[in-house]
Chain A
Amino acid sequence: DIHMTQSPSSLSASVGDTVTITCRASQTISNYLNWYQQKPGKAPKLLIYAASSLQSGVPSRFSGSGSGTDFTLTISSLQPEDIATYYCQQSFITPRTFGQGTKVEI
């Protein structure tokens, strides 16, 4: 299995800050890396697919980068509604695997 490691596990930031979350794969996954946002009691929501492609309807303050084993999710100008847990996920091979999550607080 490909192991996905996110850092940090949690962070606290202020409204308007730029937030960066990193995700590392245990082996190369090309750009088969996706990012999800999950709010309490809700299903995850796709933000970024293929490492850097913004899903339709997602605000442009969300962006992704990376290839191979190292990836980054950036939230520019953090908003109160961005409070959530963020997960990376590889879709390179099965079994599909997720990072452990990064909880973003204000």
Chain B
Amino acid sequence: QVQLQESGAGLVKPSETLSLTCAVSGGSISSYYWSWIRQPPGKGLEWIGYINYSGRTNYNPSLKSRVTVSVDTSKDQFSLKLSSVTAADTAVYYCARSSVVLRRAFDSWGQGTLVTVSS
């Protein structure tokens, strides 16, 4: 049973860079796509982007200019960097796995981590 665990700073100042890491355990990071998804308090879900094990990325155009997702297969983890943050980036950030086998649905999720943007 794969498990995903987000980690990173819970408080980020405006204009700075949000950095999060998702550690994958209990399964291989290969053959899957690894996404970041966020949810502002009391609101719906927004897909940020994904990376696969070979490093191929795809980002939401609404965030593309500020987003970088990277993968470290040696550590079975992938990371998110979101630059120039504002209060609108305050959200619970989830990492999630998807695969072609399940029609690219997100079948495993981390527990989520709240990131607050505030000075």
The B-contacting residues of A in range 48-81, CB under 8 angstroms, are: 49-50, 53, 55
Residue B102 CB within 8 A of the other chain: yes
A36 touches B106 (CB 8 A): yes
Residues of A within 8 A of B (CB-CB), count: 25
How many A-B pairs with Cβ below 8 Å? 65
Would you call A43 and B107 a contact (CB within 8 A)? no
Of B19-27, B55-63, B71-79, B80-88, the one touching chain A: B55-63
Beyond the given A87-B44, A95-B60, A95-B62, could you list 18 further A-B residue pairs with CB under 8 A, ordered by the A residue number? A31-B103, A34-B103, A42-B111, A43-B111, A44-B94, A46-B105, A49-B105, A49-B107, A50-B102, A50-B103, A53-B102, A87-B45, A91-B98, A94-B58, A95-B61, A96-B35, A98-B44, A98-B47
